[in-house]
């Protein structure tokens, strides 16, 4: 049997008190800790109508305010927000081993007071279906929710999403509701659940579910809830035509309230009870210090506002957020006359002193920055190398500022690990690229890095190496001036879908050949062998004709002629690092060969050297390419944008060459000179191939690279593992995924 608990006053027809009702000496202004203001009141003549009657119950010893003559306990009320804070009963449905022992579903009926949509309807339990039916006007409305707990449910504190606790929003404008709580399974085995289910309305934010609520909530009988109220059912415009309209004097209708009924509020600059005639009184902002007058002005109160009086000789509004006070013309003349004479003498002195100090400071700064940026070190290195064939020009700071429009951001054409590159136009109309190195703490390593790049580039004269035009050491941040390469990096063209289709296989092969020729020159034709140490598509620039230019020598090393290897800290880019160099720290020219092999694979596949977006076995491109090559899957890994139906012999030969470059042991790799010569022989434009290049047009090579996969390899959780013990792929897969100590 369902029990209903009366929570609120019945909607009995009550006499309406006219708008002339005033708070008299007999009207109570509070009950307990709750202030009572009109339109609410405790006795006839003190409230607007019976829906606003407050009963102050003294039976418990402490005064408790109730709405009407029912038992809705009021905890707070607001005439400015139009809300009542009340305590509402908690509905419950309890069982023991014999069945249901308690069920009550509270209901509520209101008139000019409505259930606020700022409440939530909440149900607690592990076998609970709770809902409510309500009415607003002649329309019925309602909703509910289900709360369950499985035997292995993980209840979470603060979570009210259906496991142990559920909640739903409350429709707006409800004046009545009837709550029902049911068991979903008739509590067939109450030992698995809490003995009771609970449901209640509660102000949003005033209830936070705890897993202990399932067993200890029986002691809670009431929860905080909000009721909205307004005056009558007429709109503000309709109510103005009646005799009992309450928004009078300096009170006006709240235009933000959309009904039903209307609400009052005091006009801006006034405070009080907007429902009482003439109770909205002017606020003295000056006395209460809530004004925006500036400190040197005088606050003057006005009805509903205030003004800020400026000092004598000044005029304006005097407010902090306004123009403030400005001096009158006569005052300005006096001030200017007094200041101008002193200012003229001071200006002459400062100008003279400035010119003297500026010249001296400029000279000192130039000397300071020249030393700071390694000018002396650069002179020593150049003289130690016997001088360069092509002397780089030393630019002044003013020349490079003009060339870059004072380093405007629109001139930035690239950013890297070692600095920012700007596009510049010199006085002779040459377009150049100006590199401004990063400078954090001006460490010795950074200075050496900069000087290293200047020395190396000043010794290089090759059509496929970006040319150094000059440098500037007069600024805090050192600058390098290169020839401008307009077509971006190789990385942009092979990894950007919009650009990759423009470079067909013959262009890619030519780029690879030109890059190899440049590296071969660095290794064997330069006056001092140079190891680039960071060969990758990002450091290969392309001009308008797709001619390759090797760039970025910030990580490069000069190798003494009597040495074949050099011990260094590992430096490079993940995915391109020589695994032998990574393990031994011994840098050789074969380290560049390995990196170039990865570049060849990128040109063939169109994929990045390392990508964690790909499946685990495909993340390291070099390993995956070697595996695919051995399994005869070359066609599957080639770049789809090459639009190949079969594999040309040139691609087979380049793939073979890439495989040799990627061998783990450096001694098994070809030199860059051998790589360059072999690529020159592969170029389709060559009429006759060099005798040292193997012909791959025979059927054996084609079948080997394109055959169906064999079972020499298997996939495991750790990657691809070979059943053979002597393959290049086995060796490289054990080394190339080691962590990098330093990268760019």
**Does the active-site annotation cover 534?**
yes
Residue 76 sits at φ, ψ, to 5 deg, of -170, 155
Beta strand segments in 110-221, E: 113-115, 119-124, 127-136, 139-148, 165-169, 176-183, 196-203
- Tell how strand 264-266 and strand 251-253 pair up: antiparallel
Among residues 51, 279, 534, 578, the one annotated as catalytic is 534
**What is the C-alpha separation between 497 and 493, in angstroms, rounded?**
8
**What is the C-alpha separation between 350 and 694, in angstroms, rounded?**
80
Torsion angle (degrees, nearest 10) of CA 530, 534, 536, 540: -50
Helices (H), 199-328: 213-216, 236-239, 285-288
**What is the C-alpha separation between 382 and 455, in angstroms, rounded?**
7
**What is the C-alpha separation between 494 and 492, in angstroms, rounded?**
6
**What is the C-alpha separation between 290 and 285, in angstroms, rounded?**
5
CA pseudo-torsion sign 621, 625, 631, 632: positive
Q: Nearest CA to 504 among 662, 684, 672, 628? A: 684
Which helix or strand (DSSP H or E) is residue 413 part of?
A: strand 412-416
Q: Nearest CA to 368 among 449, 453, 475? A: 475
Q: Enumerate residues 6+ apart whose C-beta is below 8 A from 105.
A: 2, 3, 4, 5, 91, 178, 179, 180, 181, 199
**What is the C-alpha separation between 48 and 277, in angstroms, rounded?**
13
**What is the C-alpha separation between 449 and 457, in angstroms, rounded?**
12
Q: How many helices (H) and strands (E) does the chain have?
A: 18, 39
Residues with a catalytic annotation lie at: 534
């Amino acid at each position: 049997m369902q029990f209903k608990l009366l929570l609120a006053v019945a909607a009995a027809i009550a006499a309406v008190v006219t708008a002339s009702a005033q708070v008299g000496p007999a009207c109570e202004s509070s009950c307990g800790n709750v202030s009572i203001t009109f339109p609410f009141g405790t006795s006839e003549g003190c409230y607007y109508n019976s829906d606003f009657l407050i009963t102050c119950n003294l039976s418990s010893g402490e005064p408790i305010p109730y709405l009407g003559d029912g038992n809705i306990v009021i905890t707070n009320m607001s005439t400015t927000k139009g809300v009542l804070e009340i305590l509402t009963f908690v509905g419950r449905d309890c069982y023991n081993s014999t069945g249901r022992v308690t069920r009550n579903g509270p209901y509520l009926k209101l008139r000019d007071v409505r259930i606020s949509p700022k409440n939530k309807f909440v149900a607690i339990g592990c076998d609970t279906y709770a809902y409510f039916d309500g009415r607003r006007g002649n329309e019925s409305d309602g909703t509910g929710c289900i709360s369950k707990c499985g035997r292995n449910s993980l209840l979470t504190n603060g979570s009210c999403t259906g496991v142990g606790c559920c909640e739903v929003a409350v429709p707006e404008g409800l004046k009545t509701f009837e709550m029902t709580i049911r068991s979903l399974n008739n509590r067939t085995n109450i030992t698995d659940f809490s003995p009771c289910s609970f449901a209640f309305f509660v102000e949003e934010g005033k209830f936070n579910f705890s897993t202990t609520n399932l067993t200890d909530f029986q002691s809670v009988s009431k929860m905080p809830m909000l009721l909205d109220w307004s005056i009558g059912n007429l709109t503000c415009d309709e109510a103005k035509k009646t005799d009992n309209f309450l928004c009078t004097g300096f009170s006006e209708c709240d235009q933000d309230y959309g009904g039903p009924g209307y609400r009052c509020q005091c006009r801006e600059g006034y405070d009080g009870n907007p429902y009482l005639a003439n109770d909205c009184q002017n606020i003295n902002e000056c006395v209460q210090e809530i004004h925006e007058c500036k400190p040197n002005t005088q606050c003057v109160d006005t009805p509903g506002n205030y003004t800020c009086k400026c000092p004598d000789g000044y005029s304006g509004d005097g407010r902090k957020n306004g123009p403030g006070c400005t001096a009158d013309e006569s005052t300005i003349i006096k001030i200017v006359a007094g200041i101008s004479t002193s200012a003229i003498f001071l200006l002459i002195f400062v100008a003279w002193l400035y010119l003297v100090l500026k010249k001296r400071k400029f000279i000192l700064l130039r000397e300071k920055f020249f030393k700071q940026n390694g000018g002396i070190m650069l002179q020593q290195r150049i003289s130690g190398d016997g001088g360069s064939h092509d002397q780089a020009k030393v630019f002044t700071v003013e020349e490079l500022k003009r060339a870059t429009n004072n380093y405007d951001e629109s001139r930035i054409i690239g950013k890297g690990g070692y600095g920012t590159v700007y596009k510049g136009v010199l006085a002779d109309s040459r377009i150049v690229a100006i590199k401004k190195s990063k400078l954090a703490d001006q460490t010795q390593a950074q200075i050496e890095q900069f000087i290293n790049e200047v020395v190396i580039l000043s010794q290089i004269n090759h059509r496929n190496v970006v040319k150094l035009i000059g440098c500037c050491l007069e600024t805090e941040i050192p600058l390098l001036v290169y020839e401008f390469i307009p077509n971006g990096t190789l990385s942009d063209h092979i990894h950007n879908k919009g650009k990759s289709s423009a470079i067909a296989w013959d262009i890619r092969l030519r780029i690879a050949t030109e890059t190899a020729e440049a590296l071969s020159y660095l290794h064997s034709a330069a006056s001092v062998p140079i190891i680039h140490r960071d060969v990758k598509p990002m450091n290969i620039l392309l001009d308008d004709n797709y001619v390759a230019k090797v760039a970025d020598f910030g990580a490069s090393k000069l190798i003494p002629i009597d040495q074949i290897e050099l011990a260094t800290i590992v430096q490079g880019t993940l995915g391109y690092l020589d695994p032998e160099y990574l393990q031994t720290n011994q840098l050789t020219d074969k380290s560049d060969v390995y990196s170039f092999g990865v570049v060849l694979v990128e040109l063939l596949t169109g994929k990045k050297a390392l990508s964690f977006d790909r499946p685990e076995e495909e993340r390291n491109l070099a390993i995956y390419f070697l595996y695919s090559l051995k399994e005869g899957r070359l066609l599957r890994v080639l770049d789809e944008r090459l639009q190949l139906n079969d594999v040309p012999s040139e691609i087979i030969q380049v793939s073979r060459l890439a495989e040799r470059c990627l061998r783990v042991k450096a001694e098994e790799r070809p030199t860059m000179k051998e790589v360059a010569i072999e690529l020159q022989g592969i170029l389709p434009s060559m009429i006759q191939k060099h005798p040292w290049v193997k012909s791959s047009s025979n059927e054996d090579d084609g079948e080997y690279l394109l055959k169906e996969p064999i079972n020499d390899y298997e996939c495991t959780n750790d990657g691809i593992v070979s059943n053979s013990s002597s393959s290049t792929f086995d060796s490289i897969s054990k080394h190339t995924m080691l962590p990098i100590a330093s990268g760019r």
